[in-house]
Amino acid sequence: MFGSLKLGKFFGIDTYVHPTFWLLPLFVLIQTFGTGLTNVGFNLLFVFAVFFCVAMHEVGHALAARAYGIGTRDITLYPIGGVAMLERIPEQPWREVAVALAGPAVNVVIALALLIGLAASGFGAPWGDEPNVVERFVGPVFWANVVLCGFNLLPAFPMDGGRVLRALLALCRTRLRATELAVYVGTVVAVGMFVTGAALGELGLMLVAAFVWFVGQAELANVRMVTEARRLYGPPPPLIPSPPPLDPEAELAARRFSGLAWDPTRRVWVQWVNGVPVRDIPA
């Protein structure tokens, strides 16, 4: 019914906002209703600033993957975080580690840049007493990046820390066994998150825990399937190399093609003269 809203392209990657994302600003609006327009605007701006950092975190994963020749279909922002849809996860452990750490690394860079920016423009640190209006905005964004980095590094597969754990386990085990162990640890962490969320009344944390468990199970099923397929049918065949480019002479000759060519979709012979189709000859 509702489509995702396209934000634009970051580094050539289509970035979308999922329809459910708007529940978050709506929630903030309800929570801060009646506290004055300034406060409401301030809180909304904070949410959008944090989700810009979430988008940049995902861009970090996407750019690291691109360095290994892996494309990203899109980045989508949900109310509980962002997802970069990589075409595939690198199977070489150190590459998976690099791609997983690139996201949190972006948050570290943003947090450092905010600290340096505050200091350079004469403002105090985000942990100072009696913050002014700039510090009151930049401070929480700084802390949000610290939390984004730390939280994503929890060893809860398929979160970033869990991916690092799986990759490190895969150094001395099969990928399947490493995934099983990482999903097991991830499930324990997810249960802890869910219980903590329930105790604190934090619905967001409970949703993240459910998401971690669900996606972890799905990825485990996928690794099991791929492993089984490889056992049965052997490794996938190498990609067919693309033909070498024609030299300019040959390409010109091909463009001037004269003769008959079979069109398989319309099931007719087509007569070409000097690279132009001139008439159909029914078979």
Going by C-alpha positions, the residue among 34, 2, 40, 168 that lies closest to residue 100 is: 168
Contact region with Zn ion (CB under 5 A), list: 16-24, 25-33, 71-79, 153-161: 153-161
**Shortest distance, position 15 Cβ to Zn ion, whole Å:** 15
Instruction: Say how far apart CA 102 and CA 93 lie, in whole Å.
Output: 14
Chain residue whose CB lies nearest Zn ion:
103
Structural contact between residues 143 and 86, judged by C-beta atoms closer than 8 angstroms? no
Q: Pattern 189-208, binding to Zn ion, x per CB under 5 A?
A: --------------------
Instruction: Say how far apart CA 80 and CA 205 lie, in whole Å.
Output: 8
Q: Is residue 186 involved in binding Zn ion (CB under 5 A)? A: no
Going by C-alpha positions, the residue among 17, 70, 25 that lies closest to residue 48 is: 25
Q: Pattern 100-139, binding to Zn ion, x per CB under 5 A?
A: ---x------------------------------------
Q: Is residue 160 involved in binding Zn ion (CB under 5 A)? A: yes
In the chain, count of helices (H) and strands (E)? 8, 7
Q: How many CA atoms lie within 13 A of 268 on its CB side?
A: 10
**Shortest distance, position 23 Cβ to Zn ion, whole Å:** 21
C-beta closer to Zn ion: residue 96 or 160: 160
C-beta closer to Zn ion: residue 75 or 185: 75
DSSP bridge pairs for 86: 72
**Shortest distance, position 82 Cβ to Zn ion, whole Å:** 8
Residues 243-282 that bind Zn ion (CB under 5 A): none
Q: At what angle do helices 37-67 and 133-152 cross, to 10 degrees?
A: 40
Structural contact between residues 31 and 25, judged by C-beta atoms closer than 8 angstroms? no
C-beta closer to Zn ion: residue 76 or 152: 152
Contact region with Zn ion (CB under 5 A), list: 20-28, 122-130, 148-156, 251-259: 148-156
Binding site for Zn ion (CB under 5 A): 103, 152, 160
